[in-house]
Amino acid sequence: MIPGSPERAALLQNAVRGRSLWDDAARRLLRNKAAVTGMVVLAVMVVLAVVGPWLVPYHYDTVTKTDVWMGPLQSGHLLGTDSLGRDLAARLLAGLGVSLAIGVVATSVSLVIGVLWGAVAGYLGGRIDEIMMRIVDTLYSLPFIFFVILLMVTFGRNIFLIFLAIGAVEWLTMSRIVRGQTLSLKSKEFIEAARAAGLSSGQIIIRHIVPNLLGPVVIYVTLTIPAVIIAESFLSFLGLGVQPPMASLGTLIATGAQDMEMAPWLLVFPSLTMVVTLMAFNFIGDGLRDALDPKDR
């Protein structure tokens, strides 16, 4: 029996049990000031993207001929207007929501495809692994822009197909990372025990391989989302992404670049939003990498 109060006994028992690896990683992540700052900034961006359009007194596609090229803080327009008199704040909030949605959905598509493809190839090995990874190498050889344009021309330029088109390209690197991790996991004792227990290959992959890949997968996801946002912005800059009157950060930057001399605020505010959002994701990704690195424990 531990002397002292019940509270002290509980604390001592918890200290004896120790912390799990995930608890330790969470504590390390929260001690990283840059990562915490990134999470706070990203949370603010998400709230603005979700709630912001309801707070702005203008709709993102409302045209006002009398308010053409208004500067910031003029005539009730917080960030000014564009060449059609559309409120930039409303379009920026709507575009931020679209870009974040594309980043999350396209990354989710690449996550599902890449994790399953890499786990199956790495676990089964042999000829199956060779065939599957040669397919990945072949797709890698295709120029990114050509592959996305091919998908969009074939299936149309619907915004949901843009999600799928970008996600269908970004899974390639994910599959390679997962395959490499799977090759090192499949010789572990707990995998041998699962085989001895009579579990099928599919059950082993789903129940044992994939859960043990969460560390590197989570890190890569935080780095894939900004890459997807940049890819969408590049396509929108070329006129192949989100179509008017809908806005995204890419379309806003493209419009701002065209009207930069006449209305520089049309380029400055979307560009700053893009930079801040991408830096937040990168800070979180770096923090997760340091928190989950076993060498630093």
DSSP assigned state of 81: B
3-state class of 248 per DSSP? coil
Q: How far apart are CA 266 and CA 97, in angstroms?
A: 18
Predicted pLDDT of residue 15: 44
Going by C-beta distance under 8 Å and a sequence separation of 6 or more, which residues neighbour residue 256? 263, 264, 266, 267, 268, 270, 271
Per-residue tokens: 81: 């207007």
Delimit the domains of the chain by residue range: 22-51+90-296
Of 82, 84, 44, give the one whose Cα is nearest residue 270.
82
Cβ atoms 96, 45 nearer than 8 A: yes
What is the crossing angle of helices 249-258 and 88-124, to 10°? 130
Q: How far is CA 147 from the centre of its chain?
A: 20
Helix, strand, coil percentages for the chain (3-state, nearest 5): 75, 0, 25
CB atoms within 10 A of CB 145: 14
Predicted pLDDT of residue 214: 78
Q: How far apart are CA 221 and CA 218, in angstroms?
A: 5
Cβ atoms 288, 218 nearer than 8 A: yes
Residues of the chain with pLDDT under 50: 1-2, 4, 9, 11-12, 14-18, 295
What global pTM score does this model have? 0.81
Q: How far apart are CA 259 and CA 256, in angstroms?
A: 5
Per-residue tokens: 282: 């990168």
Output the CA–CA distances (angstroms, integers) from residue 97 to 39, 89, 100, 211, in the order listed. Answer: 17, 12, 5, 30
Going by C-beta distance under 8 Å and a sequence separation of 6 or more, which residues neighbour residue 214? none
* Residue 154 β-bridge partners: none
Q: Which fold has domain 22-51+90-296?
A: MetI-like fold (1.10.3720)
Q: How far apart are CA 292 and CA 26, in angstroms?
A: 9
> What are φ and ψ of residue 66, in 5° steps?
-80, -10
Q: How far apart are CA 141 and CA 145, in angstroms?
A: 12
